[in-house]
A and B are shown apart, each in its own frame.
Chain A
């Protein structure tokens, strides 16, 4: 009996040790031994993309047991509030800050002061100016030029002889749109004619304005062969306008979204020209930024990647468009965060 108990105890001990080893092995290399706290500071948190991003950041931080707390602040699109959020978090004693600096270079003084105070601060996605090691720990950009090049290469595949391209982006002069255009032009030759006003048709990423802009462009241009947009889901309401003018929806190169994938699934039979290509919308950009911040704060090994490259996600010519009708339209199946968890985040 005693022998049996001993055997059981030994087995349990081995199992427990094994688990501990497994747990140790699961700790990512960017997670060091030093205890630290981390905060994500959003410039504007009021849409589903941001909510999925926040949830992704939190999940990444939770992979590192050295992180004792994860905090979040939403600047509500107010630059002053975003600045005081950053300073407030630093004053509270948070060790590492990951910043989505929507206001761009206006955020740099606050970021610099926190960096000078000895905190780890990692701005990501929106370029805030400044220099690494001088104004902030590291900047984790996103390669919008690569997105443009991916779209361009796909367009070359579906329209080898050239054609009319309509490029829609957000607010006038936004750097994301300009970078994407540079990527597109690096691939597409003169046989691809941009029919939109230079450099892109302004939509403010607002579905109502997108609808108005597309109405004007459809009326003006007898032939649009391909639409390029950096926010696919905002086009879902506007694309049926082609049907109203008696035309097929043209090819579309954009970023992904569940509502867009489902829209394609519903209407592609009636719209023979409607080919769809998406790049991942980039919620996972935050993961790379969190990994760098955690590595610097806990003494881990930082990842080698410094720029987030959005992978290609869907291509209807290869038959891999994704749609989850049981889940909200406002989630992004390209995100590493499981779809069900995204659904919870956007509810």
Chain B
């Protein structure tokens, strides 16, 4: 009984400490996004027009979903480099298996999810049970997944089914459907991480696996869970891409790996693991996508487009770092206050 209450109080303490960094990263990424939108409306108003947003938001939604998956893995101190293979496999399974026959689509989705589960479990076993370096293990699994991509598709693109194009590429109340999928993924991940016992344990383990093991938490199971859930999110993103682009290539996941890590970092999550910021990650996905849309809309040469993106990305991360060091003393004070509040409430 006594032991139980100690664990509970350390949990509530942990939660309250982590409330503030969430607010800070949230404020930072929202501020950066607002600045970007203001810059867009001055220098490239077309990039924030309704038509442009409707066209680009689906891609932001896809980045947000893969970002959430990467977030879970990064929280456990890992990196998931099997993302390109996972997304591409979901793309080819959901386009090649049905061959434009709507009635086969549900089965294709089930098959894609099956592949995702298997890949997630393999990643999880390699990293959490065999203690392989996450980067090495996931690179290997990525190669396996690409093997499956070639086995399914032969590397050839296939046209998507009309049903999937309608579901993933359509709009409801003028908002692209993929945005709703991203919102749903965000809600599930946020709720699970922040409001369930399992989620709290998950974050505690990410912050310090050794300490977590010492207090009797199932470290391996939670680490494995990160890889499995991440794969399911990649799978969802892949299926959405198949609907958004009418004839996706068999390598559609390749361009998503770097953005997935970038949005996790922009969202304020430490690459060393621990606390994760799902909402900030999703906003960062919008930021990153809007940034590339801005670079396209200003109509400068391709070389300048990439430079603009790099500078703005550096600025986004820079702002975050500056606030981090500048407010450290204030932060400690606030944390203490928050701690007291939390204790009073509980």
Give A contacts to B, CB under 8 Å: 45-48, 51, 172, 196-198, 202, 206-209, 211-220, 233-234, 236-237, 241, 244-245, 259, 328-330, 346-347
Contact = CB atoms under 8 A, between A and B. Distances in A.
B252 A208 contact: yes
A245 B51 CA distance: 6
Nearest to B292: A212
Given A47-B155, A219-B52, 15 more contacts: A46-B154, A46-B156, A48-B156, A197-B299, A208-B245, A208-B248, A211-B55, A211-B245, A212-B59, A215-B55, A216-B52, A216-B293, A219-B46, A219-B55, A241-B55
Contacts of B150: 46
Contacts of B157: 47-48, 207, 330
Contacts of A245: 51
Which of A215, A234, A236, A330 has the most C-beta atoms of chain B within 10 angstroms of its own C-beta? A215
Interface stretch (B114-122, B195-203, B300-308, B310-318): B300-308
B49 A329 contact: no
A52 B74 CA distance: 42
Contacts of A47: 155-157, 249
A195 to B, nearest CB: 8
A259 B250 CA distance: 17
A202 B255 CA distance: 15
Contacts of B18: none
B51 A218 contact: yes
B338 interface: no
Contact of A237 (B54, B59, B247, B299): B247
A215 B44 CA distance: 13
A220 B297 contact: yes
A208 B245 CA distance: 6
Contact of A236 (B246, B296, B299): B246
Nearest to B165: A237
B128 interface: no
A212 B290 CA distance: 11
Given A207-B245, A237-B246, A330 B158 contact: yes
B137 interface: no
Nearest to B49: A219
A217 B250 CA distance: 26
Given A218-B55, A219-B49, A207 B249 contact: yes
A219 B51 contact: yes
A219 B297 contact: yes
Q: Which 5 A-B pairs have the closest CB atoms?
A: A215-B55, A46-B155, A237-B246, A219-B52, A216-B296
Contacts of A216: 46-47, 52, 56, 293, 296-297
